[in-house]
Structures are given as structure tokens and as C-alpha cells.
Structure 1
Amino acid sequence: MIDVGALQALRSVAALGTLARAADELGFTASAVSQQIKRLERQVGVSVLAPAGRGVVLTPAGRAIADAAPEVFQALERCAEAAQSVSEGAPRGVLHVVAFSTGIRGLLAPAVRRLSVECPDLVLHITEQDPDQAVHSVDAGTADLALVHDADGLPAALPSSLTQRSVHTDVGDLVMNRTHPLARIDRPLVSTDLVGHTWATSPPGTVCHQWFRRLFADVPEDPDVRHLVDDFATQLALIAADDLVALIPRLARPPFPDGVVSRPLRRQPKREVHAVWRHSAGASPSVRAVLAELERIPAVDRAD
């Protein structure tokens, strides 16, 4: 009989390429993961890993086992769901959720508040992860549910074992001091309005920086970027202290300091937020309860 923990260790090594990275994901030491892999090799009677530089690769036998592993995990999950349905299908136990930071702030935090009242036997353990890592965690079975956003308008590719549902549409607004000239324009702003102003923006490589660069795609003049800051509360502090403009997603907006306002764009940058879970967990009362709460959260549908 193959040990389920050893099978999960192999799946993580296969996805991450090293014993150390797999250990970090699983919460074990690299030595413990190595012992699990050796136990698996004893159980199946063949080698499943081979050294490759500083990392490891799966042998053909190891790849065959890793490819079959999702069916094993799904069968075990169906067993757990059957047990839950016997106990009236009430959400209970621990649900491991992974999500990007502003998804935690804007969506999960309000959901946790209500779930603690409506589902007192359900406990959420939340970990911040980027979308690609979050998808892997759900696929590998180290998380039960993920919140991810599409990158640059393109939905993330999902393994066949996963399903997703859109739970929120996030848009970006321009934020500035109430005395700023853009704050006096009583209509959605267009690209030509943005010329000649000073900016604070998220660093290159972020979705918000991609949004920002697109604002000036039709403008010959490069924007005057004064500050590159990834934290939106810090951007707001800079705006309150200086004559700056920033582009901030509504989902990420902290409370505005006094005198700071937002204005909408005519062509609003958008990103879709999806919940991702394993097909085999679709009947889980706990997953369903969290999805229901996420869909109840109202969108911030206007600029201030």
C-alpha cells in the first residue's frame, strides 16, 4: 500500500524540482521529505527520483506515479465529503485557503468575519501566495481553495484537476488630493487628461504597473514617475503629502486620508478574481460556504 504522505511529497518534488522547495511547501524538513520518498521507493520497488545538477528529476516510474496521484487524492477527498454529508453537510474543520494580498484584505477578511458567526465549526487558515503558486498549492493538495487574479487580462492556465469560478471584478481608479486639478474634472478621465502630472506607481513587474503603462499607450509624452512603491497605503500617504496621482485597484484601497479622493477612468483597467478548487472538492460544505460568502461581498462600484 502506497503511503499518501509519500505520494504527496513526490508530487511536490515533481512540481518544484528540489527536496528543499518541496519541504518548504509541505512544512517539513528536507530530510523528512527525503525519507518519505525513500519509503515510497520501498513500497513500489523502483527508484522514483534521479539527481539532476543541484536538483532532482523524476524517473519514468516516478513520473507515472505522479501522473496518477491526482486520482488518488480525489478519491480520498470524496471519502471525506461522504463523511461530511453524513453529518448533515455542515461546514466544519479546517479549510486551507491561499490568496494574493489584496484578495485577502478585500475579499477574505470580510468573509471570515461573517463565517465566524454563520459557520462556527469552520476554521480558515489563510496563506498569502501569488496566483501561480496558489494554483499549484491547490493542485498539490496543500491548500483547499485559492483566490487568484488574471495576469494582464489573461486567465491562468489550470491543471485538469481544478475548476474555477469568477467571484469579483476589480477595477482601478486614479487617486489624488482633493485640490489636484484632476479632482475638479466632473467626468471619467481620459489619457490626454493625464499629461503633465506627477505620479506614484507600483514597481515594474506588477499588474498595477502594467495598468499604469497602458494609461499612456496613446500619449507621446512619458509620465513623470516620482515614486515606485508597492504598498498602497504608502502611496496614499505620499499623495496626501504632495501633489501626486496614483492608479490604485478598488480591491486594494485602504481608507483614504483626509483630503484624498478618487476619480474613475473612461477605460477602466480590470482584473477578474477567481476562486479555484479541486473538482473532487466541489461538494465540500466548507468550500461551498466560503464561495457563497465571497459572492455576497459587494463590489466597490464607483469612485469617490
Structure 2
Amino acid sequence: MIDVVGLRALRSVAALGSLVRAADQLGFTASAVSQQIKRLERQLGVPVLSPAGRGVVLTPAGQALVDRAPEVFQALERCADAAQSVADGAPRGVIRVVAFSTAVRGLLAPALPRLSSNCPDLRPRITEQDPEEALHSVDAGTADLALVHDADGLPTALPPSLVQRHVHTDVGDVVMHRTHPLARCDAPLAETDLASHSWVTSPPGTVCHQWFRRLFAQAPEEPDVRHLIDDFATQLSLVSSGEVVALVPRLARPPLGAELVARPLRRQPKREVHAAWRRSADTSPAIRALLAELGFPDSGRPR
């Protein structure tokens, strides 16, 4: 019989391109992953990896094995779901969740007390991961559910083995000190209201920096960016000085307190948040319980 641990290791090496990256993703050492794959090769009687420079590539036999691996993992998932259904379908055990940081803060953290109260035998385990890595983790079977956001309006590519459901629309507001001139504006802010002010913003390469650049796409001059800070709590500490303002997603925003206020934009930047899981786990009581606490109590199949 094929070793499932070795098969999962081989699939991760194929997806990530190296033993080291696969080991990090699976939570093993590179040596342990190598041994798992060698055990798989002994069982099959054929090599599945071949050296390539400092890395490795799949042999034709290894590629054939990886191509059929999803069927194996889906069958195992259905077996587990069947066992849970026989045991009355109650959510129990561990559910492994991967999510980007602001989804952990704004969606998962508020849902955990309700989940604990309604499903005392279910134990969530949360790991912060960016959307692309999170989808790979679910696809590879090292996580059960991912919360991901679109990339600047473009949906994240979904592996065919996964399904997803829209769970939230996140929007960005401008945050400033209560004494700042923008704080006196009652109407949603237009791009022309923002041009003469100084900013702290997220670094280039982030969704929030793309939001910020779009605000000034038609401006005749570059905005006055004083600080580039990735952490939103740190951004707000700088906003408290009264010298800069910030564009902050609502999911990322801690309570503002008495010193700070948020003002909406006339054209609100937004990103869509989806939950994704394996098709073979569609009837999982644990996944359905967590989705219910995220605001989806129905038991129908996802759109």
C-alpha cells in the first residue's frame, strides 16, 4: 500500500519546487521529507524524484503519481466525513484554518467565542498565511479551510480541487486625528480632498498600497508619503501624532479610541474575502460549523 505521508510530501515538493520549502510547509525537516519520499520509492520500486542542479524534479513516474494524488486524498476525506456522520455529525476534533492577518483579526477572532460555545468539542488551529500559500495548504491537505482575499480586484486562482464561498466585503476608510481638518468633513471624502495632506501607508506590493496609489492616479502631483509601515496598529500610532493620515481596511482596524476618527471615501476601495475548502470535505461538520459562525448558517452547497 502506498504511504500517504510520503505521497503528501511528494505532492508538496511538486507544488513548491524544493524539499526545503515543502518541509517548511509540512512542518518537518528537509531530511524527514526526503526520508518519507525515499520510503515511497521503496514501496513503488521506481524513483519519483531526480536531482536537478541544487534542487530536484519529478520523474515521469513521480509526475504520474502526483497527478492521481488528489483522488487519493479526496477518498480519504470522504472516509473521515462518513465516520463523523455515523458519530451523529457533530463538529469535533481539530479544524486547521489558514488566513491573512486582517481576516484573523476581523473575522476569525470575533467568531471564536461563538464557535467554542456552540461546538465545545471542536478546536480551531489558526495559521497566518497569504492567499496563494493558504490555497496551496488547503489543496495539499495541510489545512482544512482558508480565508483569502482577491488581488486588487482580480480573484485568486482557485485549484480545481477546491470550492469557495464569499464571506465578506472589506472596505478602506481614511483615519485621522480628531483635530485634523479632514475630521470636520461630514460627506464622504473625494480624491481632491486628500491631495494636500501627509500620509502613512502600507509598503509597495500590498493590496492597501495599491488602494492608496489608485486614490491619486489622476492627481497632478505625487502624494506626500512620510512613512511606509506594514502594521496597521503602528500606522495608527503615527496618525495619533496629528501629522499624517492613513488608509486602513476596516478588518484591520482596532478600536480607534477618543483621539482618532475614520471617514469614508466617495469611491471606497474594497476587496472580497472568500472561504475555500476541498470539494471532498464539502459535508464536513467542522467546516460547516465554522462557516455558520462566519455568517452562513445554511447547509446548502456553495455557489
Q: Normalising by the residue count of structure 1, what TM-score does the alignment of the two structures yield?
A: 0.96
Q: How does 1:45-56 map to 2 (within 5 A)?
A: 45-56=45-56
Shift of 1:133: 0.3
Match of 1:159 in 2: 159
Counterpart amino acid of 2:14? Answer: A
Question: Is this contact kept in 2: 1:92–1:119, CA < 8 A?
Answer: yes
Within the alignment, does 1:187 sit opposite 2:199 as a pair? no
Provide the rounded CA distance (Å) in 2 between the counterparts of 1:51 and 1:263.
Answer: 57
Aligned to 2:288: 288
Deviation at 1:43, TM superposition (A): 1.4
Report the Cα distance in structure 1 between the residues aligned to 2:235 and 2:25, rounded to whole angstroms.
32
Task: Specify the alignment match of 1:92 in structure 2.
Answer: 92
**Do the aligned partners of 1:168 and 1:295 also contact (CA within 8 Å) in 2?**
no
Gaps of at least 5 residues in structure 1 are 298-304
Does residue 246 in structure 1 map to residue 273 in structure 2? no
Shift in Å, 1:257: 3.5
The answer for the alignment partner of 1:39 in structure 2 is 39
TM superposition shift of 1:294: 0.9
**Stretch of structure 1 that moved more, 239-248 or 288-297:** 288-297
- Structure 1: distance between partners of 2:216 and 2:261: 21
Kindly indicate whether residue 144 of structure 2 is the aligned counterpart of residue 144 of structure 1: yes
Aligned residue in 2 for 1:260:
260
Aligned to 1:116: 116
Secondary structure in structure 2 of the residue aligned to 1:212: helix
Q: Separation in 2 of the partners of 1:32 and 1:151?
A: 35
For the residues of structure 1 that align with 2:243 and 2:269, how far apart are their CA atoms?
Answer: 23
The 2-side partners of 1:272 and 1:257 are apart by 27
Q: 1:201-248: per-residue Cα shift (whole Å, max 9, x none)?
A: 011111000000000011111100011111111111111113211100
Do the aligned residues in 2 keep the contact of 1:236 with 1:257 (CA within 8 Å)? no
Return the offset for 1:46.
1.0
Q: Match of 2:13?
A: 13
Find the counterpart in structure 2 of residue 57 from structure 1: 57
CA–CA separation in structure 2 for the residues paired with 1:126 and 1:253? 20
Determine if the alignment matches structure 1 residue 223 to structure 2 residue 262. Answer: no
The amino acid of 1:59's aligned partner reads T
How far apart are the structure 1 equivalents of 2:52 and 2:121? 46
CA distance in 2, matches of 1:2, 1:274: 34
Contact 2:163 2:276 in 1 (8 A): yes
Displacement of 1:22 in angstroms is 1.1
SS of the aligned residue for 1:117 comes to: helix
Q: How many angstroms apart in 2 are the aligned matches of 1:39 and 1:70?
A: 20
- Which residue type is aligned with residue 159 of structure 2? P
Q: For 1:220 and 1:35, locate their aligned partners in 2 and report how far apart those are by CA, in whole Å.
A: 60
Question: Which digits, 9 at most, give the CA deviation of each residue in 1:245-285, with x for residues without a partner?
Answer: 11000010011142210000010000000001000001000
Distance in 2 between the 1:185 and 1:19 partners? 55
- Equivalenced residue count is 297
CA distance in 2, matches of 1:278, 1:193: 45
1:296, distance to aligned residue in structure 2 (A) = 6.0
Which moves more between the two structures, 41-50 or 274-283?
41-50
Please report the TM-score for the alignment, with normalisation by the length of structure 2.
0.96
Match of 1:270 in 2: 270
In structure 2, give the amino acid aligned to 1:281. Answer: A
Looking at structure 2, the residues matched to 187 and 283 of structure 1 have their Cα atoms a distance apart, in angstroms, of 46
Instruction: Answer whether contact 2:180 2:242 (CA < 8 A) is retained.
Output: no
1:72 paired residue number: 72
Gaps of 5+ in 2: 298-303
Alignment match, 1:82? 82
CA distance in 1, matches of 2:27, 2:189: 48
Contact 1:237 1:257 in 2 (8 A): no
Aligned-partner Cα distance in 2 for 1:193–1:59: 60
CA RMSD in angstroms, aligned pairs only: 1.1
- 2:143 is paired with a residue of what secondary structure? coil
CA displacement at 1:51 relative to structure 2: 1.1
Runs of 4+ in 1 over 3 A off after TM superposition: none
Aligned to 1:133: 133
d(CA) in 2 for partners of 1:62, 1:20: 18
- Structure 1, residues 65-117: CA drift from partner, whole Å, max 9, x if none? 00100010000000000000011100000011000001001111111111111
